[in-house]
Amino acid sequence: MHGAWIVSIGNELLIGRVINSNLAWLGKKLTYLGFNVRRGLIVKDDCEEVAWAFRLATSSGAKVVVSTGGLGPTFDDKTSECLSKAFGLRYMVNDEALHLVSKKYSSAGLEMNDYRIKMAMMPEGAKPLPNPVGTAPGIRLKVGETYIFALPGVPSEMKAIFEEHVEPFLKRMGPEIEFFEVEITSKGLPESSIAPVIDRVMMRHPRVYIKSHPSGKELEAPVQRIHIQLSSKSRKEAMKILEKVEEELATLLREKGAKVIRSSRSPIH
């Protein structure tokens, strides 16, 4: 399974001013596309930090790196420049990106200036990704065997570029597998009581990953949402395995006195 890293860039994330919802959204998207999300990094708007994160990801063998933040016109938007420095590439105006940016501002009756031209500056060899929501294009760059996608930090812009331009690309180059998941809910047993049951089932089915998420009052009215996850090339095979594991887990939990509810029998992929 191809490894993927997510790099979140922005001081606002580190000081708690902005919640990093982009990381969760991208992690889910990449996982469902069949990628193994191995690491998520958050770094401040500092060239040394940003360049370090990109170099670390590529040197660690990531097939895909997706970054968010730092592509706008302000002084602290440094991602494109730092990406260039990270790999010794010329930082230059990308003609295609310049066309995209100038077209946006022209349609609003605004002229180009240095701050707007900045959003068209990219590492040499980069491919701009049109932004259907905002003005700053995303960036696609291949470094060795790694594809790097730099996206805006604004969630609506990031999601739009990812779904229109990154996701189709990853589907073409990515692993020919899908991610499947079913969920059951266990009531009446604390997480420490169901942990050995989960371990037992996972030992019998090493391809399956089972994770419990507690809610409610753990020692008074415990509720455990349990996700059963599997990656497979075959939907038919995945459904057969998931149904078997789901039934086995539910049976063992009932034997321990839990009430089991099948919250979702349809795989999410």
pLDDT tens, residue by residue, 75-103:
999 999 999 999 999 999 999 999 999 99
**Residue 35 and residue 95 share a domain:** yes
**Residue 202 and residue 134 share a domain:** no
Domain span holding position 257: 178-264
Say if residue 236's pLDDT is above 90. no
Burial level of 230, CB count in 10 A (0-12/13-18/19+)? buried
Query: CATH number of the domain that 213 lies in?
Result: 3.30.70.1130
**Residue 143 and residue 240 share a domain:** no
Quote the pLDDT of residue 31: 87
Domain termination site, one of 122, 154, 173:
173
SS3 237: helix
Q: What residue type is assigned to position 64 of the chain?
A: V
Total number of residues shown for the chain: 269
Say if residue 264's pLDDT is above 80. no
Whether residue 197 lies inside any domain: the answer is: yes
Question: Model pTM?
Answer: 0.82
Q: What's the mean pLDDT in 201-223? A: 87
Domain termination site, one of 155, 173, 191:
173
**Residue 185 and residue 53 share a domain:** no
Between the alpha carbon of residue 122 and those of residues 45, 87, 113, 154, 258, the distances in Å are 17, 12, 17, 19, 57
Q: Print burial letters for 141-162: b (CB count within 10 Å at least 16), e (below 16).
A: bebeebbbbbbbbbeebbbbbb
SS3 191: helix
**Residue 239 and residue 131 share a domain:** no
